[in-house]
């Protein structure tokens, strides 16, 4: 006879089949304490991983000639960045190259140690057996990190014993060296403590983990990538508050507060340029939003093609342009529309109309031209999400419509389009939020001296200002303002959608 558990009772037996009763055992005091200690261990692991990417927390800056703008991660993956300022000293033999190689190798070891710590932290989300294995892995990560720090100390010693150590500037162990050392020691001690707090393992015990934690770990790599490529670059916003030039080191004597923010609105020339590029940006984004229904229509008609082979050919040939870089797109445009391109050659040789017009050099109808190229390149790719949505529509709706005498266009109008509207609205909201971020590559390759005033959008203007003119603080300010406005637009569009449609994406 089956035994059913009271869900409110933690220690009640649970039936998983006939004559098989499993009783959940309560946690021991050691397990309860270890759960608390685990939070400290995971916190140290997260802090250790984050510190890899910030120059402020770099323990590898053992001499003045190593740039203060380098993070430990950069020291590990880019040896040239470490030796940028000491190239002549290394060539002359004044400083031993082995010291910088050891420094780079030690940085790699510390990075690997952080990876091991992260693996141990993930294993701590499992059952007792996984937790025990996880703390062993974490302890090994702490030991590996200490060995990497030992290598940094040896690199410092090699520099001190160099032929001309003064060429490296002041040689020292930074405060972050000791911070990493303290974290590694604490990780080892906490891991050992947790290991003895957890109960002994039995032979029948297997490594298990709850489903919610498995899903979390599956999502974790994407969270990490989002952090590295979306949130970590926000650290560069600090340049907006300094009088910084490329190659220099950020120091507090160059701190200028909100100087560049005020100059953005007070300088007449800058204000005029910003207004011009915002006009171009809004115009091109508005054209993009106004034609954002084209991929949906294309997907609907593509789905109506009954010949499977022909439909696949059309979808393939319309999707391929998305994977072509804008440099190659411009090469195609150059071959067609340049002075000696296909159009002029055809008009001259076949129709007897002598012409040498360079259509790419003209600034006429530039917004329409950019829209056309963007549509050609992205139409097939943008339609994929709608094609996926169409396949998810209940086929019984079409069958019922057929029984009621509806034709193909009636089904498209009354079934397909209404079912795709929610997807379209979500993408429309994202487009509104990104109205100031319509890309840079396309406009950079098509830009020239003649059409610059009508093709330069905000992203391209920031690039030209920072990389072309060296005004990195000003370009950072504009990028910050653009990001803030985009966030405001996203929440505004989301609020309007919630009021009008009763649905939102946030």
Can you give the residue ranges of every domain in the chain?
29-208, 280-470
d(CA 28, CA 34): 10
Q: Alpha helix (H) ranges present in 93-210?
A: 97-123, 128-160, 175-197
Is the pLDDT assigned to residue 353 strictly greater than 90? no
Residue of 469 and 160 predicted with greater confidence:
160
Quote the pTM value: 0.71
Is the pLDDT assigned to residue 6 strictly greater than 50? no
Q: What is the pLDDT of residue 15?
A: 45
Q: What is the pLDDT of residue 33?
A: 83
Q: Assign 250 to helix, strand or coil.
A: coil
- Reading the block at residue 392, the tokens are 């998810």
Is the pLDDT assigned to residue 246 strictly greater than 80? no
Provide mean pLDDT across the span 334-360: 82
Q: What is the pLDDT of residue 27?
A: 66
Spatial CA neighbour of 455 closest among 373, 363, 371: 363
Length of the chain: 506
Spatial CA neighbour of 333 closest among 458, 461, 448, 460: 448
d(CA 347, CA 333): 17
- What is the assigned CATH class of domain 280-470? mainly alpha
Q: What is the pLDDT of residue 344?
A: 84
The string of DSSP codes covering 351-393 is S-------TTT--TTHHHHHHHHHHHHHHHHHTHHHHHHHHTS
- Reading the block at residue 475, the tokens are 């370009």
Non-local CB neighbours of 432 within 8 Å, separated by 6+ positions: 289, 489, 490, 493
Is the pLDDT assigned to residue 11 strictly greater than 50? no
DSSP state, residue 475 = H
Dihedral (CA of 108, 113, 114, 119) sign: positive
pLDDT digits (tens, 9 = 90+) for 82-98: 988 888 888 888 999 99
Q: What is the pLDDT of residue 209?
A: 84
Provide mean pLDDT across the span 105-112: 95
Q: What is the pLDDT of residue 115?
A: 93
Spatial CA neighbour of 478 closest among 447, 436, 449, 442: 436
pLDDT digits (tens, 9 = 90+) for 162-183: 888 888 888 999 999 999 999 9
d(CA 179, CA 48): 10
pLDDT digits (tens, 9 = 90+) for 420-451: 998 898 888 888 888 888 888 899 999 988 88
Provide mean pLDDT across the span 405-427: 90
Provide mean pLDDT across the span 243-250: 78
3-state secondary structure labels for all residues of 21-54:
EEECCCCCHHHHHHHHHHHHHHHHHHHHHHHCCC
Q: What is the pLDDT of residue 142?
A: 94
Is the pLDDT assigned to residue 16 strictly greater than 70? no
């Amino acid at each position: 006879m089956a035994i059913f558990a009271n869900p409110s009772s933690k220690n009640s037996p649970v039936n998983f089949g006939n004559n098989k009763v499993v009783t959940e055992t309560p946690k021991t005091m050691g397990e309860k304490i270890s759960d608390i200690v685990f939070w400290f261990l995971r916190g140290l692991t997260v802090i250790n991983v984050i510190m890899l990417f910030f120059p402020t927390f770099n323990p590898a800056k053992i001499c003045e000639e190593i740039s203060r703008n380098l993070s430990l991660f950069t020291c590990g993956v880019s040896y040239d960045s470490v030796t940028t300022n000491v190239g002549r000293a290394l060539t002359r033999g004044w400083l031993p190259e082995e010291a910088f190689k050891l420094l780079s190798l030690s940085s790699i070891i510390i990075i690997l140690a952080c990876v091991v710590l992260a693996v141990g932290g993930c294993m701590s989300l499992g059952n007792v057996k996984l937790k025990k294995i996880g703390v062993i892995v974490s302890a090994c990560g702490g030991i590996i990190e200490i060995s990497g720090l030992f290598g940094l100390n040896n690199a410092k010693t090699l520099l001190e014993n160099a032929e001309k150590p003064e060429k490296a500037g002041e040689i020292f162990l930074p405060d972050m060296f000791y911070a990493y050392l303290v974290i590694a020691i604490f990780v080892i001690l906490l891991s050992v403590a947790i290991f003895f707090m957890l109960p002994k393992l039995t032979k029948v015990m297997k490594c298990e983990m709850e489903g919610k934690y498995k899903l979390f770990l599956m999502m974790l790599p994407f969270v990490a990538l989002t952090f590295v490529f979306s949130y970590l670059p926000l650290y560069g916003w600090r340049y907006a508050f300094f009088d910084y030039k490329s190659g220099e080191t950020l120091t507090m004597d160059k701190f200028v507060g909100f100087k560049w923010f005020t100059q953005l609105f007070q300088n007449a020339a800058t204000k005029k340029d910003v207004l011009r590029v915002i006009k171009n940006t809004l115009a091109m984004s508005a054209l993009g939003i106004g034609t954002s229904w084209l991929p949906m229509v294309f997907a609907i008609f593509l789905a109506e093609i009954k010949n499977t082979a022909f439909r696949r050919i059309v979808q393939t040939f319309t999707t391929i342009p998305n994977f072509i870089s804008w440099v190659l797109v411009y090469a195609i445009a150059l071959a067609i529309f340049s002075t000696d391109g296909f159009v002029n050659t055809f008009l001259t040789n076949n129709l007897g109309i002598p012409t040498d017009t360079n259509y790419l050099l003209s600034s006429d109808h530039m917004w329409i031209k950019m829209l056309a190229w963007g549509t050609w390149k992205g139409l097939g790719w943008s339609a994929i999400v709608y094609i996926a949505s169409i396949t998810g529509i209940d086929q019984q709706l079409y069958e019922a419509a057929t029984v009621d005498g509806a034709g193909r266009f009636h089904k498209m109008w009354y079934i397909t389009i209404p079912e795709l509207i929610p997807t379209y609205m979500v993408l429309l909201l994202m487009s509104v939020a990104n109205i100031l971020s319509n890309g840079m590559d396309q406009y950079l390759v098509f830009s020239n001296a003649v059409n610059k005033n009508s093709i330069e959008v905000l992203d391209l203007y920031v690039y030209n200002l920072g990389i072309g003119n060296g005004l990195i603080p000003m370009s950072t300010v504009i990028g910050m303002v653009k990001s803030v406005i985009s966030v405001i637009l996203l929440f505004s569009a989301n609020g309007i959608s919630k009021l009008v449609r009763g649905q939102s994406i946030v």
